[in-house]
Homo-oligomer: A and B are copies of this chain.
């Protein structure tokens, strides 16, 4: 991103920012004093003062009373994996570990920052109650009988309408309702691959995707990705040349766990690239509706001309995780996935489908989502600030522009897998980084779910995690 320079103090600020980026000054180091800099640059003290204030606004530096300005030790913007060397396709073996950890997260008395379910306070209980009371009164028969179908017509209609608002045209015939997004992902993987095949994924990648890959006997090839723009398309292209890849499976919007948001141009380029190679893309857009600024970037599916994008999503992050309603729009794989779905479990629960269709059909969903976006932006801000306060120097935190998940990189010597059990002993949980990769390269990272009610328990949990992190540093 080229720096736009307007005034003298902005120019000075940009120069210092570049030096920080180049690690001329490292996290926690003292910057030149205002007087020094004023002399070096032959500018007024006031100008330097303004430059530092700007850097403070940008959260790059922080003032310390009676001491001067320091490079912020904790960087929200770039807990980035550098685009490193491409690894090999790997067997995935995280299931047993993941199961133990996920169950521990939900244990009695645990302040759960691990599993990424939204907190009850963010779910539209009253509206759903109203909708369901009516459905049970008026349409009970239809809800109880079975339909040999790939989903309720009215729900498919709403899904297409919402996708059209995101500039993505999908026909109702292409929509298959699933038991949540996880099922959509599993069905897609089954449709495009056979055991032993390789799936290219982000690094870090969504733990549920890794588990699905493991359960189907597939291999995962992790493609270097960063926490801002997501997967490196250069690295992906290299991988596609080098390996036989059955499919690419990504979370382009507000990635879980990294928080990255793939720019529109990248999405377009990605779809073109895969189209040339004839490789299908499984797009997990679970958080797509939760952009904090309310701006819905079209999904990659919007650029799909050849039906090679299998688009997956659900309402589990915004409306009712317990309902298990998701969907997939699988392009040329529609017939295949319809079959796989029907003999996996016939169809999704009718009452859940009908309730969601009804909720999506009114303005209530839009109002609900608008509220959620603001709340999640505030929650992330609160967590970021508190983590900055309590975590060790050298910590970096993701800065997602949507969703409610934070990805935290601790100093390299921290082993968050070990920290996890210390945390559980103190009745706090998170997800350790090793769940998000086939390698150990994220073993100093952790994921935090910020969709929780902020209260003393949560404040204390962050303090506790900070203390544990300090001990492991």
Q: Which residue of B lies closest to A351 (CB)?
A: B351
Which stretch from A127-135, A222-230, A261-269, A412-420 is at the chain B interface?
A127-135
Q: How long is the Cα–Cα vector from A49 to B10 in the complex, in angstroms?
A: 115
Q: How long is the Cα–Cα vector from A76 to B194 in the complex, in angstroms?
A: 45
Cβ-defined contact, B338 with A324, below 8 A: no
Is A232 in the interface zone, CB < 8 Å from B?
Answer: no
Cβ-defined contact, A143 with B340, below 8 A: no
Q: Which residue of B lies closest to A143 (CB)?
A: B322
Cβ-defined contact, A323 with B344, below 8 A: no
Which stretch from A211-219, A235-243, A283-291 is at the chain B interface?
A211-219
Q: A389 to chain B: which residues have CB within 8 Å? A: none
* Residue among B99, B322, B339 making CB contact with A95, cutoff 8 Å: B339
Q: A342 to chain B: which residues have CB within 8 Å? A: 99, 102, 211
Q: List 27 A-B contacts (CB under 8 A).
A: A96-B339, A99-B338, A106-B149, A117-B145, A117-B146, A125-B141, A125-B144, A128-B144, A132-B136, A136-B136, A143-B320, A144-B321, A146-B316, A179-B345, A179-B349, A182-B343, A182-B345, A183-B344, A186-B344, A190-B215, A211-B342, A214-B343, A322-B349, A322-B351, A324-B350, A348-B349, A352-B352
Q: How long is the Cα–Cα vector from A335 to B316 in the complex, in angstroms?
A: 25
* Residue among B133, B145, B217, B322 making CB contact with A144, cutoff 8 Å: B322
Could you tell me the distance in whole angstroms from the C-beta of A300 to the nearest C-beta in chain B? 23
Q: A128 to chain B: which residues have CB within 8 Å? A: 140, 144
Q: Which residue of B lies closest to A131 (CB)?
A: B136
Count copies of this chain in the complex: 2
Q: A344 to chain B: which residues have CB within 8 Å? A: 182-183, 186, 212, 215, 344
Instruction: Give me 11 other A-B pairs in contact (C-beta within 8 A), A106-B147, A125-B144 excluded.
Output: A95-B339, A106-B148, A123-B145, A142-B322, A143-B320, A144-B321, A179-B349, A186-B344, A195-B195, A211-B343, A324-B347
Is A89 in the interface zone, CB < 8 Å from B?
Answer: no
Cβ-defined contact, A103 with B352, below 8 A: no
Q: Indicate with 1 or 0, residue by residue over A455-473, a CB within 8 angstroms of chain B CB atoms.
A: 0000000000000000000
Q: A203 to chain B: which residues have CB within 8 Å? A: none
Interface residues of A in 130-177 (CB under 8 A from B): 132-133, 136-137, 140-149
Cβ-defined contact, A180 with B346, below 8 A: yes
Could you tell me the distance in whole angstroms from the C-beta of A149 to the nearest C-beta in chain B? 8
Q: A320 to chain B: which residues have CB within 8 Å? A: 143-144
Q: Give the residue among A95, A120, A179, A215 with the most B Cβ atoms within 10 A.
A: A179
Q: How many residues of A contact B (CB 8 A)?
A: 65
Q: A348 to chain B: which residues have CB within 8 Å? A: 179, 324, 349
Q: A178 to chain B: which residues have CB within 8 Å? A: 345
Q: A120 to chain B: which residues have CB within 8 Å? A: 141, 144-145
Cβ-defined contact, B349 with A146, below 8 A: no
Q: Indicate with 1 or 0, residue by residue over A50-82, a CB within 8 angstroms of chain B CB atoms.
A: 000000000000000000000000000000000
4 A-B pairs with least C-beta separation:
A146-B321, A183-B345, A322-B350, A211-B343
Q: Indicate with 1 or 0, residue by residue over A80-122, a CB within 8 angstroms of chain B CB atoms.
A: 0000000000000001100100110110000000010100100
Q: How long is the Cα–Cα vector from A180 to B349 in the complex, in angstroms?
A: 10
Could you tell me the distance in whole angstroms from the C-beta of A454 to the nearest C-beta in chain B? 18
Q: A125 to chain B: which residues have CB within 8 Å? A: 140-141, 144
Q: A338 to chain B: which residues have CB within 8 Å? A: 99
Cβ-defined contact, A145 with B351, below 8 A: no
Could you tell me the distance in whole angstroms from the C-beta of A286 to the nearest C-beta in chain B? 12
* Residue among B146, B180, B321, B349 making CB contact with A351, cutoff 8 Å: B349
Is A208 in the interface zone, CB < 8 Å from B?
Answer: yes
Q: How long is the Cα–Cα vector from A208 to B346 in the complex, in angstroms?
A: 9
Interface residues of A in 417-469 (CB under 8 A from B): none
Q: How long is the Cα–Cα vector from A106 to B150 in the complex, in angstroms?
A: 13
Q: Which residue of B lies closest to A147 (CB)?
A: B322
Cβ-defined contact, A186 with B146, below 8 A: no
Cβ-defined contact, B343 with A148, below 8 A: no
Given A125-B140, A132-B136, A352-B351: A212 in contact with B148 (beta carbons within 8 A): no
